[in-house]
Structure 1
Amino acid sequence: MSVETTRVHTQDFSTATSSALHQLLHSPELTFLMEAHDALSAAIAEESGFPGLWASGLSIASSLGYRDANEASWTQVVEVVERMADVTHIPILVDGDSGFGNFNNARLAALKLYQRGASGICLEDKGFPKLNSFVGDKHPLADVKEFSGRLRAVKDTVPEHRFCLIARTEALIAGYDEQEALSRAHAYAEAGADAILIHSRKGTADEVLSFARAWKNRLPLIIVPTKYYRTPVAAYRQASISTVIWANHAMRASVRAMGQVCRRILSEESVAGIEPDVATLEEVFKLMRYDELANAEGRYLPETSASA
């Protein structure tokens, strides 16, 4: 990767991207974060114009061949996020699951993510190991005081102005009512969260929009409309929601596209037919800045003699 885009993850860099994420969360305009699960998908999302990235736990786990059940370790997630930060210039909000354990695991993961270029972490109020919110019906929640301790540990470890901390409540996912979700969100705000993510597995946005009205913008509110994707974004703007995360769509698109291409190549015993449907090598080279490498060779390599 180019010298210009490769990051030495200093505090100054992480502080700058954290500030950018903070501005996005507090912007009067609705913000959209795009899922990424590796360096390539991160570069594509930035080139497409998204102002920030969501390092999805589901998508990263899937790309590593794991299930979204804390099968991938936090150190593996950190390594993936580091590569994403190396090739982009926009803030990365990392899906930190439930913190990979207790308060100590959560603060260690947050510190390493900050050191490797992440702009913030989102922690959900489940125990360890957690299970993807859309799988099965068993989603026990963490004790409020214990989870608040995880949040405070992260805040005390990574200074507030350098890293954003998002608290995600799974109360609605676990079958509790709005009041329980609100109670937890208020407790997490007291513990130092910079924003609240309210999650739902319903096919409509009704319970999320109801929560938004009751929340009254105490902190920026983030949503993930994976299941209620038919809701017009105008409804989110009207509800003063801060940020929408498109949480797994690049990964899902790649699964479908790669499957189709593999089956066609096997069936047709040729790649001639699929060439119009895949990126050219030139597109890949442009995205990965091969031009910068050529320019660098001209600056740093000695000229080859004519007799060589």
Structure 2
Amino acid sequence: MLRAQVCSNDELSFLMEAHDGLSATIAQRSGFKGLWASGLSIASSLGYRDANEASWTQLVQSVERIVDSTELAVLVDGDGGFGNFNNARLLARKLRQAGAAGISLEDSCFPKLNSLIGERHPLADIDEFSGRLRAVKDAVADNLVLVARIEALIAGHGLNEAILRAHAYADAGADAILIHSRKSTADEMLSFVTEWRNRLPVVIVPTTYFRTPVSAYRDARISTVVWANHSMRAAAAAMRRICDSIAAQESVANIESHIAPLSEIFELLRYDELAVAEKQYLQPS
């Protein structure tokens, strides 16, 4: 399913961020056909910064909960693989065992820093990162979709460097290219897409250029759009408002209409199935 979504230019697909079982369940209920297990969102939900403070084992554990919660294919934000080729292939094997459908690896140095923070974003050597990609491909073959994420535009190295890296990563076995930009418009990303000419499908993350109409992505024959952190950010904003209100008013009376009723939580997590199962297994006729 994920290969059909990410590795095709025929129809634009969308992946929604998930960071735990509940966010994954809500995304599926809203109609999304695939999920992005966000490194930023998972780290944030664990109380860590998106700077490789959460370990690869914590990432795998979070992905396992996401996979268990839905029937959707999950593309995992694997940062740079948490080290060299050996760490990257180990991560890929463990994610495959956890049920992930794909992994995205970025050409950053360990430890990485979130792409939208600060100005210091050293890039991995092209040959070294290509080795990471080959190691992952050899370890999991076609059992995981492998997306090579290029940070050249983030690091300020320009279009030529991004294209050079894209060709190298395609040669190393990547199934798709994720081109990342922190600009407020899509111009930089679209210039890459034009120059790249769809040698491999292109994945984008329009966190900063969110005003660009989706029609522009379809016209450019982009494969996949990742809504990369929006459930986590929505949850943080909602929790802050509710906590502030309860702390100020010392009461929950005025916020009840602004939060999900427990019946909705019970429905999302299928408590009705548990009741049916109890009748079948605890009280067999």
State the TM-score, normalizing by the size of structure 2: 0.98
Does residue 1:179 correspond to 2:164, yes or no?
no
2:87 equivalent in structure 1: 105
Cα deviation code 1:263-283 (max 9, x no counterpart): 111111111111111000000
Separation in 1, partners of 2:43, 2:202: 26
> Structure 1 residue aligned with 2:26, among 22, 40, 44?
44
> Structure 2 residue aligned with 1:168, among 143, 146, 149?
149
Separation in 2, partners of 1:179, 1:282: 54
Separation in 2, partners of 1:207, 1:167: 18
Q: 1:114 to 1:303 in 2, by over 3 A?
A: closer
Separation in 2, partners of 1:134, 1:49: 28
Secondary structure in structure 2 of the residue aligned to 1:33: strand
1:291 equivalent in structure 2: 272
1:235 equivalent in structure 2: 216
In structure 2, runs of 5+ residues without a counterpart are: none
Does residue 1:269 correspond to 2:250, yes or no?
yes
Does residue 1:60 correspond to 2:16, yes or no?
no
Separation in 1, partners of 2:221, 2:284: 59
| Mean Cα deviation higher: 24-33 or 256-265 | 24-33
Cα deviation code 1:255-298 (max 9, x no counterpart): 00000000111111111111111000000000001011000000
Cα deviation code 1:242-262 (max 9, x no counterpart): 100010010000000000000
May I ask how many residue pairs the two structures share in their alignment? 284
Separation in 2, partners of 1:295, 1:218: 51
Instruction: Spell out structure 1 runs of 4+ moving beyond 6 A.
Output: none
State the TM-score, normalizing by the size of structure 1: 0.91
Does residue 1:122 correspond to 2:104, yes or no?
yes
**CA RMSD after TM alignment:** 1.0
Contact 2:9-2:222 within 8 A present in 1 as well: no
Secondary structure in structure 2 of the residue aligned to 1:40: helix
> Structure 2 residue aligned with 1:202, among 178, 183, 200?
183
Secondary structure in structure 2 of the residue aligned to 1:202: coil
Amino acid of the structure 1 residue aligned with 2:35: L
Q: Percent identity?
A: 67
Contact 2:184-2:208 within 8 A present in 1 as well: yes
Cα deviation code 1:66-118 (max 9, x no counterpart): 00000000000000000000010010000000000000000001100010110
2:59 equivalent in structure 1: 77
Does residue 1:222 correspond to 2:208, yes or no?
no
Contact 2:9-2:221 within 8 A present in 1 as well: no
Separation in 1, partners of 2:66, 2:229: 16
Does residue 1:88 correspond to 2:70, yes or no?
yes
Cα deviation code 1:138-162 (max 9, x no counterpart): 00000000000000000000021x1
Amino acid of the structure 2 residue aligned with 1:296: A
In structure 1, runs of 5+ residues without a counterpart are: 1-19
